[in-house]
Amino acid sequence: MKIGIAGARGSIPTPTGKTLFNREISTAKYGGNTTCVYVMADDGTKHILDAGTGIRDLGVYLSTEGGFNGHGEANLYFSHTHWDHIQGLPFFVPAYIPGNKITVFGEAKVKGIHLGVRPSLESALAQHSDQPGNLPGLLSIEGDGLRRVLANQQNFRNFPAPLEALKGIENYVDFVAGATIYETATLKIDTCPLNHPGNSISYRFTEKKADGRKKVLVFSTDFEPDADGADERVTAFWGDADMVLADGQYEPQNSDVKVNPFMVGWGHSDYRTDLCLAAKAGVKLLVLTHHEPKMGEAYHDQLEERAKQEAVRNAEKTGCKTDIELAKEGSWYTL
């Protein structure tokens, strides 16, 4: 599969330039658009993770050169519906073009589910009588949870065109975190709940190659490791992944660097925690994303360098070798 970074900024878009009061910020190298990742599987299927502002330019490409002029098919998966992960959808041109077949996936907010008191998948499903999906955990096509949140974003006070104008979206699928939401002979997509205010969902793509090898990509944005077992859950979900895209917005809790401090409870992680989880999970490449919007290029260059040094030290100490780098908007990976 090929993985393209269409947006790697966290929380709010961050353009390069000079502000009203002459503060300068340069974000060109890592990008200023909020979260969006494009995955092209070897079997030709197209998958998009999150609709932050990075999805706008992806949509321009898809609707002009990418075949989404009424004949395109893609799945769009939401980690969660915080603004920085949905705000690009009203500007995603392929979604407006009739004939395109876009299916949108997001977590069903089943009553009573949040971390710590999350019931099992089975008991959550038992609360729903409308579960027509052919995979366990798919609750309803046209489910009102995700669709309602997206419709609210485009109600008449907020945006000129309603969600109904997005004729290229064929289905809205709500699922319970933990479900396998996609499965073909060559590609399987599993999900896992993450600790984040309002919850967030991690996606694991397992692709089977023609020669029988497997390649694994995990997308884990917006999570704060917690003490109630979430670490073990994340470690298991990342197990033996070739590449993990992980939230690395903050400085580690005891960092000597005092800018961009760790903010407990805000739902984000840091490179030290991510490296620790990745080492336990046997991850080959860790790519940090959801970059802090108030910090510019020089800071992120230095953060990347410190993270790389720590990865080398960890490898010397534990023998677990994980490469690490920061996600850069516009970059591609091949697994």
Q: Which residues lie across from 217 on neighbouring strands?
A: 205, 243
Q: Which residue, 82 or 291, has its beta carbon nearer to Zn ion?
A: 82
292 vs 304 by CB, closer to Zn ion: 292
Residue 76 C-beta: closest distance to Zn ion, Å: 16
Instruction: Indicate the residue among 78 and 92 with the shorter CB distance to Zn ion.
Output: 78
CB of 7 to Zn ion, least distance (A): 10
Widest CA span in the chain = 58
The least distance separating Zn ion from the CB of residue 37, rounded to whole angstroms, comes to 13
Considering beta carbons, is residue 50 or 207 the nearer one to Zn ion?
50
CA distance 13 to 9: 7
Minimum CB–partner distance for residue 20 and Zn ion (Å): 25
Q: How many helices (H) and strands (E) does the chain have?
A: 7, 17
Q: How far is the CB of 26 from Zn ion (least distance, A)?
A: 21
**Least Cβ distance, residue 83 to Zn ion (angstroms):** 8
Give, to the nearest 10 degrees, the angle between helix 297-318 and helix 271-281. Answer: 40
d(CA 213, CA 245): 21
Q: Cβ closer to Zn ion: 207 or 222?
A: 222
Tokens of 132: 């027509």
State the residues that interact with Zn ion by CB under 5 A: 82, 84, 222
Give the HSE-up count for residue 329: Cα atoms under 13 Å, Cβ half-sphere. Answer: 28
**Smallest Cα–Cα separation from 84: which of 7, 18, 156?**
7
Q: State which residue, 222 or 224, has the beta carbon closest to Zn ion.
A: 222
Which residue type does 186 have? T
Least distance between Zn ion and beta carbon 269 (Å):
12
3-state per-residue secondary structure call for 117-169: CCCCHHHHHHCCCCCCCCCCCEEEECCHHHHHHHHHHCCCCCCCCCHHHCCCE
Q: Which residue is nearest to Zn ion (CB)?
A: 82
187/201 with CB nearer Zn ion: 201
Residues 6+ apart with CB under 8 A from 212: none
